[in-house]
Amino acid sequence: MRAGSRVLAAGLALIAFASSGVSMVAAQESEGGITDAQAATLQRVATCLRTTDHLLVSFVIDESTSLTETDPENKRVDAALLALDNFTDLATTEIAGRTPTIEAHVAGFAHAFTPYAGWGDLADANAQDEIRSALEDFADREEGLATDIPTALNEARQVIADRAAELSGGEPCKVLLLFTDGRYELPFFEDSDENNLVYAPDVDPSTDGAQREAERLGREFVCSPNGVAEQLRDDGVVTLTAALATTIAPRDEQFLEALSTGRAGTVRCPGDANPRFGAYLPAEDVDELVPVFNGIVEAVGGGTIGGPESVEGVCVGEPCDAGRHEFELSPALAGFGALLEVREAGISVLVEGPDGTDETADIEPDVDGDTELAGSDLEWEWIDEDTVRLTGELPADARDEWAGDWALTFLADREPATATPPRATLTYFTGLLPQIVGEPELVRGEISTVVIDIVDVSGEVVDPADLGADVTLDATITDPATGASEPAQVTGSGGSYEVQVESVGTGSTVALEASVNTTLQNGRVLAPQSDVFDLPVRAAALFPLLSPARLQLESVRGTGETTAELTITGGADAGGCVWFETPVDVRSAPVSAISAQFVPSSTSNRCLDVEAGKSRTVVVRFKNSESGEGVVRGTITATLLSRETREEESFEIPFSFDLAPPINEAERFGLFLAILLPGVLAPIAFLALSNRRLARFRSTTGVQVARVPVLVERTLTQILRVFADGGATGETALRLRGNEVDPIVLRPDDFTPMGKQKGTHVDAADLTFVARAPSNPFGEVGATVEAHDGLVAARVVGDSRSDESHLPLALPGTWAVALPSDGTPVTGNGLDATLPGGDERQWIRVDLVAFVADGSLGSQLTALRGDLGARLSDVANVLADRVEGIDRTGSGRFRDWA
């Protein structure tokens, strides 16, 4: 089933699912149908979902080896996928402005419990795909050596409790959907070397009767008081067990039913049956699996199941009466579904619109599709080769077109091989829902009138009579603290009703359940659509007001505490006093070490005063000193005293919070390191390797080098270039620019190509450049320079950080000063020329080496000249100091120029 009409059908399903009454009409027990008790169970989930808008569904599926024989065609996978589709539709359909959050989880079990897909929000396409894939994989998961149901239930309970504890914003609804094809058994237990059973740790597998004893303890583990089944119920988990019951002995089937419902025959688990606990839905043969799951999801969706109806046969070649099934769509409906079992591959279904229309739709074999027909939106999806699910959205504005008698005709090109005739299971969805008007609040001891309207799926108020439907409204008031219920008086008709509500019990809220009962013109009674409204109850005006009326606290992981605030507001005309009873009433909890503390504390003798119209807060702190997993529920009893009348009123405020198991710190830290270290070390190792690979000179083709002698005055005022004229007078030419410091001028013809060199070492102008990878992986790769003879210092144009140990791998822009070993400072010129300042000034003769790249030579020389003018003197003098043993750094040591 895909979007479109299926969405509406699902949406309607949600409405009906969420608002179904306590008793379901489609109660006849039949193939593919469900019983009253089963329907009541599903409606419990529906009501919960309507209230919380959040559902957790855990698929727990048998993967024992027996499935290869009992379900060779993997019908269980088809059925599970059908359920997933429906839950997905619910999670993606907005009804009256609300879209529930539905999360699913998939696990398998045999001799162990194995999660295959973590909790995923079905509204998220990726999560949905992951869950679908996990379910599809069960077609190949049938190699388990046991059917350890107790372990599966226990682990699933923990998974659900853990997820619930992670959530904030209220307790979600929880469903455990368990599928198995066999009885609980541990056939290879006595062959195993070790015992991993949590419920039978002391049973030695090697002893006689070990298997029987372990199985006995397993049943006890599930069905004893405070056993797994009871813990599931305390946690609010509804257990739906779908079983392929062909090979299960009655006693074993009773165990499956009892763990779901509480009791089956003589098997108590641990007490009496209650539809609120769960439902057992057996499939009599493998072909019934899909109808059973269909029954579950349709009932969960709140549909009214028409029951399967077989036709006489299949029409060959052209439509005939024998293969025709008629059904009526009433104007009061908003959608329908049809599970069509054609019984054999290759059979198509012809859908005919109502009388007076000639429109038809062809459902071709194994081809999914959708179409519009008579104002309705139809969509169909083949679940397997002989089963197709058809859904129809029935828009309110096209009632005149689609309302009437429809027909389905099963067609084949040739005579079918099977003698079993096709059958159709119709489900009808109504859109007539109860909706409370305003936000009524009850006053204890007074009768309040609550208005309930009948609305359609879009929230519009409608008069059912206009739709040819006969509608009644039932209302029930329930004290959430005790579960005690009583009917409420309802008056009105048409689309609006008034309910007279009086608070019951001592709770701070009452639950008003309103059910819409619809009977169509053709006499079909639809499943009641009900909704539960939580109405706050307060004391009369002369009493203080306490809020909120219900406490849902943050969960506690391991041991610890969780807190909430209660606000006390004085009455409008009179102050009052409030005190809280301790210890609080913990009604169910997975551990016994739960305590509560109120700050400030109070007693009847030392109550908390509050003035008229003023407010104050009280913090309630729940402490859990013992680790557990599950839901803690209970009530806080507060007594209000009116200063005006001196009367007292007690209120029970329900509270709940989840307990989650403590974090395994060692495991967490181990995981932290195991995940983080690869994430950090791998990239860093990659970076280091990358640096090593980068630490090589690329080809120096295109790089030019110049080496020219220069004189640097030691007082750092002048730099002179010595030109070799090559003439008779030798090296005598000086370059001066008046009496000013003259930046070195490098001429283009000073440069010669380096030729092609590459690798880790490059030689040029009696210097060797060595590529270096940094020891710090985040450092820059670079190079150092060494002189073949003497000392060398190097710099890079525009890079003040650069020196002979920190050079880039690319030589252009680099310049160096080489001071040969015999290149000591000279006094006077030592040359055949007159130097500025006379002979008394000291000069250093060094060689300047510079590198440029081909192209843009002018701009490179300009940049070099500027940089040399600024730094050459300093660099040359430092080299000279080094030779002369002068330490200008003050450190007493020289830098290592090498």
The answer to whether residue 855 forms part of the interface with another protein (CB under 8 A) is yes
Which is closer to another protein, CB of 550 or CB of 865?
865
Q: Fill in the amino acid letter for 474.
A: D
Q: In the bound complex, what is the minimum distance in angstroms from residue 865's beta carbon to another protein?
A: 7
Only segment of 77-85, 412-420, 646-654, 807-815 that touches another protein (CB under 8 A): 807-815
The answer to whether residue 686 forms part of the interface with another protein (CB under 8 A) is yes
Q: Which two tokens stand for residue 310?
A: 């077989």
Tell me the β-bridge partners of 722. 734
The answer to whether residue 307 forms part of the interface with another protein (CB under 8 A) is no
Question: Binding marks (x or -) toward another protein, 526..565, rule CB under 8 A?
Answer: -------------------------------x--------
Name the phi and psi angles at 875, rounded to 5. -65, -45
Do you find a cis peptide bond into 583, omega within 30 degrees of 0?
A: yes
Cβ proximity of 881 and 716 under 8 Å: no
Cβ proximity of 232 and 158 under 8 Å: no
Which is closer to another protein, CB of 130 or CB of 874?
130
Which is closer to another protein, CB of 68 or CB of 834?
834
State the Cα–Cα distance between residues 487 and 512, nearest whole angstrom: 9
Name the phi and psi angles at 582, rounded to 5. -130, 145
The answer to whether residue 801 forms part of the interface with another protein (CB under 8 A) is yes
Name the phi and psi angles at 129, rounded to 5. -65, -40
Enumerate residues 763-782 that contact another protein by CB under 8 A: 776, 778, 780-781
State the Cα–Cα distance between residues 309 and 407, nearest whole angstrom: 13
The SS3 assignment for 394 reads: coil
State the Cα–Cα distance between residues 393 and 385, nearest whole angstrom: 24
The answer to whether residue 162 forms part of the interface with another protein (CB under 8 A) is yes
User: Site for another protein (CB under 8 A): which residue of 126, 266, 739, 775?
Assistant: 126
Only segment of 36-44, 59-67, 428-436, 860-868 that touches another protein (CB under 8 A): 860-868
Residue where the block lists tokens 């226990």: 154
Cβ proximity of 308 and 32 under 8 Å: yes
Which is closer to another protein, CB of 417 or CB of 680?
680
Name the burial class of residue 21, with classes exposed (0-12), middle (13-18) and buried (19+) by CB atoms within 10 angstroms of its CB.
Answer: buried
Q: Give the relative orientation of helices 289-300 and 36-52 as an angle to the nearest 10 degrees.
A: 50
Which is closer to another protein, CB of 447 or CB of 676?
676
Which is closer to another protein, CB of 530 or CB of 802?
802
The answer to whether residue 123 forms part of the interface with another protein (CB under 8 A) is no
User: Site for another protein (CB under 8 A): which residue of 680, 716, 870, 886?
Assistant: 680
Only segment of 314-322, 332-340, 497-505, 744-752 that touches another protein (CB under 8 A): 744-752
Cβ proximity of 732 and 832 under 8 Å: yes
The answer to whether residue 800 forms part of the interface with another protein (CB under 8 A) is yes
State the Cα–Cα distance between residues 250 and 245, nearest whole angstrom: 9
State the Cα–Cα distance between residues 162 and 628, nearest whole angstrom: 10
Which is closer to another protein, CB of 584 or CB of 861?
861
Q: In the bound complex, what is the minimum distance in angstroms from residue 633's beta carbon to another protein?
A: 22
Q: Which two tokens stand for residue 45?
A: 């989930």
Only segment of 61-69, 472-480, 612-620, 850-858 that touches another protein (CB under 8 A): 850-858
User: Site for another protein (CB under 8 A): which residue of 858, 885, 890, 892?
Assistant: 858
> Torsion angle, CA of 195/200/205/208, rounded to 10 degrees?
180
Which is closer to another protein, CB of 875 or CB of 880?
875
Which is closer to another protein, CB of 568 or CB of 861?
861
Query: How is 658-692 classified by DSSP, letter by letter?
Result: EEEPPP-HHHHHHHHHHHHHHHHHHHHHHHHHHHH
Q: Which two tokens stand for residue 601?
A: 């504390």
The answer to whether residue 690 forms part of the interface with another protein (CB under 8 A) is yes
State the Cα–Cα distance between residues 868 and 877, nearest whole angstrom: 13
DSSP state of 464: G
Only segment of 533-541, 610-618, 794-802, 881-889 that touches another protein (CB under 8 A): 794-802
The answer to whether residue 756 forms part of the interface with another protein (CB under 8 A) is no
Percentages (nearest 5) of helix, strand, coil residues in the chain: 25, 35, 40
The answer to whether residue 812 forms part of the interface with another protein (CB under 8 A) is yes
The answer to whether residue 760 forms part of the interface with another protein (CB under 8 A) is no
The answer to whether residue 745 forms part of the interface with another protein (CB under 8 A) is yes
Which is closer to another protein, CB of 306 or CB of 813?
813
The answer to whether residue 730 forms part of the interface with another protein (CB under 8 A) is no
The answer to whether residue 757 forms part of the interface with another protein (CB under 8 A) is no
Of the candidates 151, 163, 193, the residue with the CA atom closest to the CA atom of residue 103: 163
State the Cα–Cα distance between residues 838 and 835, nearest whole angstrom: 6
Of the candidates 487, 424, 434, 479, the residue with the CA atom closest to the CA atom of residue 456: 434
Only segment of 199-207, 366-374, 400-408, 853-861 that touches another protein (CB under 8 A): 853-861
The answer to whether residue 167 forms part of the interface with another protein (CB under 8 A) is no
Cβ proximity of 627 and 558 under 8 Å: yes
The answer to whether residue 225 forms part of the interface with another protein (CB under 8 A) is no
Enumerate residues 699-728 that contact another protein by CB under 8 A: 702-703, 721, 723, 725
Q: In the bound complex, what is the minimum distance in angstroms from residue 667's beta carbon to another protein?
A: 4
The count of chain residues that interact with another protein, using the rule CB under 8 A, is 65
Q: Which two tokens stand for residue 893?
A: 């040591």
Cβ proximity of 11 and 457 under 8 Å: yes
Enumerate residues 633-672 that contact another protein by CB under 8 A: 660-661, 663-665, 667-669, 671-672
State the Cα–Cα distance between residues 651 and 636, nearest whole angstrom: 8
CB atoms within 10 A of CB 169: 11
The answer to whether residue 731 forms part of the interface with another protein (CB under 8 A) is no
Which is closer to another protein, CB of 862 or CB of 889?
862
Which is closer to another protein, CB of 188 or CB of 672?
672
* Residues binding another protein (CB under 8 A): 118, 126, 162, 557, 660-661, 663-665, 667-669, 671-672, 675-676, 679-680, 682-684, 686-687, 690-691, 694, 698, 702-703, 721, 723, 725, 733, 735, 745, 747-749, 776, 778, 780-781, 796, 798-802, 808-810, 812-813, 852-862, 865
